Chain A
């Protein structure tokens, strides 16, 4: 029997993996992918809470859809910025973004 706690554990693990990826990776695109994992962990949480606590209302599912939409917008802006800086320096490694003091 799969309970709410299983889903929350999955969400928590996915969140930690994403956080590790975002903090440890050097490539800007890999960092964005780590952040996507964190957002998907949030979606699992939201949908699981919705299913086990209040299946009649769909607040959690609606929230998850909004998260997906916003994440897409964020990635669109992010890739545009990475592309702009890559054209300038042929580089997407964040360690080399050191024109400003980090």
Chain B
């Protein structure tokens, strides 16, 4: 008996994404602006549906798992996609990109993330990963008239294809060493037979593939260039949602298929986490472009997320889930502010943000509080997230790692506040006007700001939800 109905959200996403593509052909050219609104409404409906169905569970043909863990990440992806769609309305229209293709790819990238985070089998995991990556490559190079966008697209393509070839080689070795592609089955085989050299080699290749997607040092080289060149809303989506999707898949592979090798891969993750936190935070300091700054800041955030994996505990999984949810609102808030500024001034340079607080108090405030949340300053939500992450590694005895993380968070406050200094203390350039932000983007910015405050002051509902879900994931 094939239970197709448990895949309802994925099926609706696929139909919706293709529907938008067809709609672009039917709607006359001058009224294509409406496609963005339709996308936003559709994503909002799917978000509500995913929230209502958050406790659903089941397994489709042994290879696709619907469980609270995957559903949590589906809610996260849909929230990020909704914010991205709202953020794109004016940007896409101004830059003259093809609207229906853009929104359709946005929806299909979200579908790829859902498949990636819910698949319980290596082939579907690979397909989800590639669906996500290839749509993101197209979105990155989508701004055809902009040389930077084309160049970022080709860099992402070459390095992304290289990393997925390495990832695939790892998958083939894991399949060869265990004789199965079902993640749970691999877990049984590894637990009874122990590790073979092929399996260890495969694990390292898999780790490299995931590290590329999560922008972990030393696999991060692509991200500053791609983040700078890609259209700003796409950069925001790429930095939050694709990272969360890869982390979810990483949990499924390493915590379900390879838990008995944990003494081995935890060591690797400690090295990677230290490198990522140190390099991400220190290289962010001299940056002059806001998108490059946010790229390095998101590399350092990936380092903090790895701490939850290092802890290899329920608390660690829950902390990563909580942190990635509020990371969506923190980072998307910053990117929405950057998009609003770009829409009026066509610039991403931090020195042009000078005096922004006088020209548009809303953009400046959203940027400031989003950055403070990323830095982990109370009462913003980022503080609670980092608190749980550090607590999870301290409970496993890695006190030095927590101290290092806290010190580097201090460093991050410096470069985040350099942006704030430019916005609040600098003088606006001669003859500059106040910036008008369109109302839908205003609403989205205010909502994400409110969520950051609410989760910072009253985090209990979300932390309980994340921790309970982590328990069902870790101890089924």
Residues of A at under 8 Å CB distance from B? 8, 11, 15, 18-19, 22, 28, 31-32, 35, 38-39, 41-42, 45-46, 49, 53-54, 59-60, 62-63, 66-67, 70, 73-74, 77-78, 81-82, 84-85, 88-89, 94, 97, 99-102
Kindly identify which residue among A28, A39, A62, A97 contacts B168, using a CB–CB cutoff of 8 Å. Answer: A39
- Beyond the given A31-B158, A59-B175, A59-B181, please list 4 additional residue pairs across the A-B interface where CB-CB is below 8 A: A45-B169, A49-B176, A63-B126, A73-B130
- Say yes or no: is B162 at the interface (Cβ < 8 Å to chain A): yes
Kindly identify which residue among A41, A53, A70, A85 contacts B169, using a CB–CB cutoff of 8 Å. Answer: A41
Q: B122-154 CB contact bits vs A (8 Å, 1 = yes)?
A: 110011001000100110010010011011111
* Minimum C-beta distance from B330 to chain A (A): 25
A67 cross-chain contacts in B, Cβ below 8 A: 126, 168
A18 to B364 Cα, complex, angstroms = 48
B151 cross-chain contacts in A, Cβ below 8 A: 85, 97, 99-100
Interface size of B in residues (CB-CB distance below 8 Å) = 39
In the complex formed, the residue of B with least CB distance to A49 is B176
A20 to B225 Cα, complex, angstroms = 23
From known contacts A77-B137, A84-B144, A88-B147, infer whether A100 and B153 are also in contact, taking CB-CB under 8 Å: no
From known contacts A74-B157, A88-B147, A89-B147, infer whether A54 and B225 are also in contact, taking CB-CB under 8 Å: no
A63 to B154 Cα, complex, angstroms = 27
A39 & B165 in contact (Cβ 8 Å cutoff): yes
- Say yes or no: is B74 at the interface (Cβ < 8 Å to chain A): no
- Say yes or no: is B228 at the interface (Cβ < 8 Å to chain A): yes
Kindly identify which residue among A32, A38, A60, A66 contacts B175, using a CB–CB cutoff of 8 Å. Answer: A60
- Say yes or no: is B155 at the interface (Cβ < 8 Å to chain A): yes
In the complex formed, the residue of A with least CB distance to B165 is A38
- Say yes or no: is B224 at the interface (Cβ < 8 Å to chain A): yes
In the complex formed, the residue of B with least CB distance to A54 is B179
A15 to B166 Cα, complex, angstroms = 9
B127 & A70 in contact (Cβ 8 Å cutoff): yes
B162 cross-chain contacts in A, Cβ below 8 A: 19, 22, 31, 35, 38
A97 to B148 Cα, complex, angstroms = 9
A62 cross-chain contacts in B, Cβ below 8 A: 123
A95 to B295 Cα, complex, angstroms = 22
Q: Supply 23 A–B pairs (Cβ within 8 Å), ascending by A.
A: A15-B169, A22-B165, A32-B161, A35-B158, A35-B165, A42-B172, A45-B173, A49-B179, A59-B175, A59-B180, A59-B181, A63-B123, A63-B171, A70-B130, A81-B141, A81-B153, A84-B141, A88-B147, A88-B150, A94-B158, A99-B151, A100-B229, A102-B225
B169 & A42 in contact (Cβ 8 Å cutoff): yes
B154 & A42 in contact (Cβ 8 Å cutoff): no
B166 cross-chain contacts in A, Cβ below 8 A: 38
B225 & A101 in contact (Cβ 8 Å cutoff): yes
* Minimum C-beta distance from A74 to chain B (A): 5
A66 to B121 Cα, complex, angstroms = 14
* Minimum C-beta distance from B244 to chain A (A): 22
A78 to B130 Cα, complex, angstroms = 13
A45 & B161 in contact (Cβ 8 Å cutoff): no
B150 & A81 in contact (Cβ 8 Å cutoff): yes
A31 cross-chain contacts in B, Cβ below 8 A: 158, 162
B171 cross-chain contacts in A, Cβ below 8 A: 42, 63
A49 to B141 Cα, complex, angstroms = 38
A102 cross-chain contacts in B, Cβ below 8 A: 155, 225
A38 cross-chain contacts in B, Cβ below 8 A: 162, 165-166, 169
* Minimum C-beta distance from A60 to chain B (A): 7
A28 & B154 in contact (Cβ 8 Å cutoff): yes
In the complex formed, the residue of A with least CB distance to B168 is A42
Kindly identify which residue among A35, A41, A88, A100 contacts B228, using a CB–CB cutoff of 8 Å. Answer: A100
* Minimum C-beta distance from B415 to chain A (A): 17
* Minimum C-beta distance from B21 to chain A (A): 16
A22 cross-chain contacts in B, Cβ below 8 A: 158, 162, 165
* Minimum C-beta distance from B229 to chain A (A): 6
A82 cross-chain contacts in B, Cβ below 8 A: 154
A45 to B166 Cα, complex, angstroms = 13
User: Which of B122, B127, B144, B151 is packed against the most chain A CB atoms within 10 Å?
Assistant: B151
In the complex formed, the residue of A with least CB distance to B156 is A81
* Minimum C-beta distance from A85 to chain B (A): 5
A81 to B136 Cα, complex, angstroms = 13
A67 to B144 Cα, complex, angstroms = 29
From known contacts A39-B165, A84-B141, A89-B147, infer whether A28 and B158 are also in contact, taking CB-CB under 8 Å: yes
A74 & B141 in contact (Cβ 8 Å cutoff): no
A32 to B155 Cα, complex, angstroms = 12
B176 cross-chain contacts in A, Cβ below 8 A: 8, 45, 49, 53
B169 & A81 in contact (Cβ 8 Å cutoff): no
B165 cross-chain contacts in A, Cβ below 8 A: 18, 22, 35, 38-39, 42
A77 cross-chain contacts in B, Cβ below 8 A: 134, 137-138, 157
Kindly identify which residue among A49, A54, A74, A97 contacts B154, using a CB–CB cutoff of 8 Å. Answer: A97
Kindly identify which residue among B126, B147, B225 contacts A70, using a CB–CB cutoff of 8 Å. Answer: B126
Closest 10 CB pairs of A and B: A38-B165, A49-B176, A45-B172, A100-B225, A42-B168, A70-B130, A85-B150, A35-B161, A81-B154, A81-B153
